[in-house]
């Protein structure tokens, strides 16, 4: 409207300067918008013929009348003039409600300004007005529609034809945890849970791009990472030419319904006593594992476990005690397997373990031994202290069978061979054990020479202030760089170091190397940095360890107040009185002590007051589900509170994401350690991080 107003002004100027009344009349008769002029007394002195379409009056009827008489709001004219003055005499798109000749109300939008006389004094107001009543009606309808969308219980999402999100309603925000600001301008892929393959999404787009309605149940992911099920409908919205201009997605959260279905499915496929997969589900998972192993050339192992003399417990103490023992055994077994592996109960005291997607056989024997070791500690049931052992038979795909039946049969045969050899052991189905023994002996032989060949290296994982996220300290972690195998995973050689006794010599090397590095960092501007070093039980219980660490402190020149030795709960509690004496002796050197993996043993913070402990490290198993598991959250917060009350520092291990950090910050945890900030790094990379921090 502004260019039009300028043209009218030019016409009016010509009217004042030249006898061009006829030209102006032509303009005023043909203009669709309304031109009007009001003098400084508020009287209409000029108006275009289009006023009749707008208000029902002819120009002759309104000229000479007061403009204020047409306002619905009695104070409307004064408000308009006030706004005009505040806008320095010119306003655009000012909306006002006027009264029609027939009594109805008409919304107009006007661009107006003050005009002046030949002496430069304000003579009145002129402007252009347009009927926006229909537009206002549409806006009101849109408001009603948006209000309905905002208050519906179902999620609503609107995207453009390119899939870019343009609108989400309140139910979407409430259910997904994402605000509209989080998702508008992005694609629905922000909700992708990874539970659906690319074919499903290809089918979705093919359907809606063809102008058809898509319906399905999808698994999506909330902002906090939890999954939910939605019953989704996506409808293409087309213009008058049949072109798709939007996609409208509506969805119901049916997670509760799905969970109920899952519970029924779980009952049909799981053992009622232990909750483990039953034979049907186990065989199905084994079949799938074999299929994957064939495609990717991997190994699959089946471990058949049978308790030794379990019948005696049932016969003497009753089946209730036997059942409770099986439940506790299930808990111990579950703690030892990897995520993705399966433990099944076939009945009685028979358990079967599926180890999926194995690269080699080394993990199998270590797990079997680990299971046997978990049975060393007694089961406490109804004041009975029960000791139980197990015999384990192992078969491996593809060497011991290519189908589920063969692998189970051969594992069962190997289990009976273990019983024949005296029980409480594990046996592989193969009669020839020389290859496996040779492999282990070879690795052990290489390990014995690794220290003298300078094959061990240290990596350091930062420990950072939970509030400021500045590096407070580092934990020294041992790595083995084998010249042929490459970087050997710690679980593959640390147990061998323990078994062979090499852990003491290597542990001393680790401690000395870490102290040297710590002194170097202190000398180059990071004097605040703490160094944490893990101690093995062999080191800690060696009477010569005090002299060894004293020598290392003296030779490296490290300030012992910045050296923190980490010990486990089991080491701490094994012999409390002698442990207190050992810690007190070491404390005289000025070093600090931390309890590693706290919460997984059987100590209590209250009991720890007897020991000179400075730091508690909360085990990563509690941190992993801290935002979704109420028990883990309660345990973690309790540890933090009690540690504060005992003036101990708290480090949370295994922090992986923002939500975990936020929880720990809220509960005043001192420090965090985990991949959220950094994984373990070589010394050079830590140096770089410290230099950036010290700037």
Domain boundaries, the chain: 2-133, 152-258, 270-431, 454-480+495-694
> Would you tell me which CATH number, out of the four given (3.30.450.20, 1.10.1330.10, 3.40.50.300, 3.40.50.20), belongs to the domain 152-258?
3.30.450.20
* Confidence band of 246 (pLDDT split at 50, 70, 90): very high
Which residues of 317-410 form beta strands (DSSP E)? Answer: 342-347, 350-358, 379-381, 384-386, 389-397
* Confidence band of 437 (pLDDT split at 50, 70, 90): very low
What's the CA angle centered on 565, arms 559 and 566, to 5 degrees?
155
pLDDT in tens, 634-669: 989 988 998 898 889 999 999 999 999 999 999 999
pLDDT in tens, 248-295: 999 999 888 888 887 777 777 888 899 899 998 999 999 999 999 999
Give the pLDDT of residue 471: 94
* Confidence band of 162 (pLDDT split at 50, 70, 90): very high
CB 563 within 8 A of CB 593: no
Where does residue 43 rank: exposed (0-12), middle (13-18), buried (19+ CB within 10 A)?
middle
Give the pLDDT of residue 323: 92
Is the domain spanning 270-431 CATH 3.40.50.460? The answer is no
Q: Are strands 342-347 and 299-308 parallel, antiparallel or unpaired?
A: unpaired
The secondary structure of residue 92, as a DSSP letter, is: E
* Confidence band of 20 (pLDDT split at 50, 70, 90): very low
With a pLDDT cut of 70, the percent of the chain lying above it is 91
* Confidence band of 317 (pLDDT split at 50, 70, 90): confident
Mean pLDDT of 379-393: 90
pLDDT in tens, 35-82: 899 998 889 998 988 888 888 999 899 899 998 889 989 898 899 889
Task: Identify the three-state secondary structure at position 72.
Answer: coil
Q: Which residues pair with 252 in a beta bridge?
A: 231
Mean pLDDT of 185-209: 91
Q: How far apart are CA 695 and CA 683, in angstroms?
A: 18
CB environment 375-409: b (16+ within 10 A), e (fewer): beeebebeeeebebebbbbbbbbeebbeebeebbb
Give the pLDDT of residue 434: 37
> Would you tell me which CATH number, out of the four given (3.30.450.20, 3.40.50.1000, 3.40.50.12170, 3.20.20.70), belongs to the domain 2-133?
3.30.450.20
Nearest in space to 358 (alpha carbons), one of 344, 370, 340, 373: 340
Mean pLDDT of 604-619: 78
Q: How far apart are CA 586 and CA 570, in angstroms?
A: 19
The secondary structure of residue 153, as a DSSP letter, is: S
Q: In what order do the strands lie in the sheet with 426-428?
A: 342-347, 350-358, 299-308, 389-397, 426-428
Domains 2-133 and 270-431 agree in fold: no
Q: What is the CATH number of domain 454-480+495-694?
A: 3.20.20.450
pTM to 2 decimal places: 0.43
């Amino acid at each position: 409207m502004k260019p039009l107003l300028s043209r009218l002004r030019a016409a009016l100027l010509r009217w004042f300067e030249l006898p061009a009344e006829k030209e102006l009349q032509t303009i005023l008769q043909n203009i669709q918008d309304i031109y009007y002029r009001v003098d400084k007394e508020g009287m209409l002195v000029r108006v275009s013929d289009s006023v009749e379409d707008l208000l029902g009056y002819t120009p002759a009827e309104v000229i000479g009348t007061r403009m204020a008489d047409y306002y619905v709001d009695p104070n409307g004219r004064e408000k308009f003039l006030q706004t005009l003055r505040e806008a320095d005499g010119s306003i655009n798109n000012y909306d006002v409600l006027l009264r029609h000749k027939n009594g109805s109300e008409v919304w107009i939008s006007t661009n107006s300004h003050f005009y002046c006389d030949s002496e430069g004094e304000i003579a009145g107001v002129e402007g252009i007005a347009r009927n926006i009543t229909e537009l206002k009606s549409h806006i009101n309808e849109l408001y009603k529609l948006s209000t309905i969308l905002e208050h519906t219980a179902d999620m609503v999402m609107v995207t453009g034809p390119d899939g870019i999100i343009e609108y989400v309603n309140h139910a979407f925000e409430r259910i997904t945890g994402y605000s509209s600001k989080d998702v508008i301008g992005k694609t629905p892929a922000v909700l992708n849970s990874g539970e659906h393959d690319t074919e499903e999404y290809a089918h979705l787009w093919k359907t809606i791009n063809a102008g058809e309605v898509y319906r399905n149940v999808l698994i999506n992911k909330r902002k906090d990472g939890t999954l939910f099920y939605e019953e989704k409908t996506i409808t293409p919205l087309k213009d008058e030419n049949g072109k798709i201009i939007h996609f409208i997605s509506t969805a119901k959260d049916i997670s509760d319904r799905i969970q109920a279905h899952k519970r029924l499915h779980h009952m049909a496929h799981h053992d009622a006593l232990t909750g483990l997969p039953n034979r049907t589900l186990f065989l199905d998972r084994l079949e799938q594992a074999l299929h994957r192993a064939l495609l990717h050339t991997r190994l699959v192992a089946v471990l058949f476990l049978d308790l030794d003399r379990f019948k005696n417990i049932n016969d003497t103490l009753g089946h209730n005690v036997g059942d409770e023992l099986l439940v506790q055994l299930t808990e111990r077994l579950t703690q030892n397997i990897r995520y993705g592996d399966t433990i099944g109960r076939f009945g009685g005291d028979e358990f079967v373990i599926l180890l999926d997607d194995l690269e080699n056989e080394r993990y199998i024997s270590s797990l079997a031994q680990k299971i046997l070791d978990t049975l060393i500690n007694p089961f406490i049931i109804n004041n009975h202290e029960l000791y139980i052992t197990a015999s384990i038979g192992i078969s491996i795909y593809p060497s011991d069978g290519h189908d589920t039946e063969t692998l189970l049969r051969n594992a069962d045969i190997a289990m009976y061979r273990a019983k024949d050899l005296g029980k409480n052991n594990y046996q592989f189905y193969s009669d020839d054990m020389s290859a496996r023994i040779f492999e282990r002996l070879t690795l052990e032989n290489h390990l014995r020479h690794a220290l003298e060949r300078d094959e061990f290296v240290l990596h350091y994982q930062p420990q950072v202030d939970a509030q400021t996220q500045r590096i407070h300290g580092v934990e020294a972690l041992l790595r083995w760089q084998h010249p042929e195998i490459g970087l050997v995973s710690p679980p593959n050689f640390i147990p061998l170091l323990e078994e062979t006794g090499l852990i003491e010599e290597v542990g001393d090397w680790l401690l000395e190397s870490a102290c040297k590095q710590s002194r170097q960092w202190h000398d180059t501007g990071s004097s605040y940095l703490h160094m944490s070093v893990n101690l093995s039980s062999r080191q800690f219980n060696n009477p010569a360890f005090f002299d060894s660490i004293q020598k290392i402190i003296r030779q490296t020149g490290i300030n012992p107040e910045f050296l923190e030795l980490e010990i486990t709960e089991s080491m701490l509690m094994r012999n409390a009185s002698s442990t207190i004496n050992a810690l007190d002796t070491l404390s005289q050197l000025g070093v600090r002590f931390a309890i590693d993996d706290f919460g997984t043993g059987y100590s209590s913070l209250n009991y720890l007051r007897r020991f000179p402990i400075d730091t508690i490290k909360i085990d990563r198993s509690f941190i992993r589900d801290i935002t979704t598991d109420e028990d883990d959250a309660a345990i973690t917060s309790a540890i933090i509170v009690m540690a504060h009350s005992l003036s101990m520092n708290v480090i949370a291990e295994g922090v992986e994401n923002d939500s975990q950090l936020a929880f720990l910050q809220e509960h005043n945890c001192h420090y965090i350690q985990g991949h959220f900030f950094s994984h373990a790094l070589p010394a050079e990379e830590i140096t770089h991080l410290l230099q950036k921090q010290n700037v």
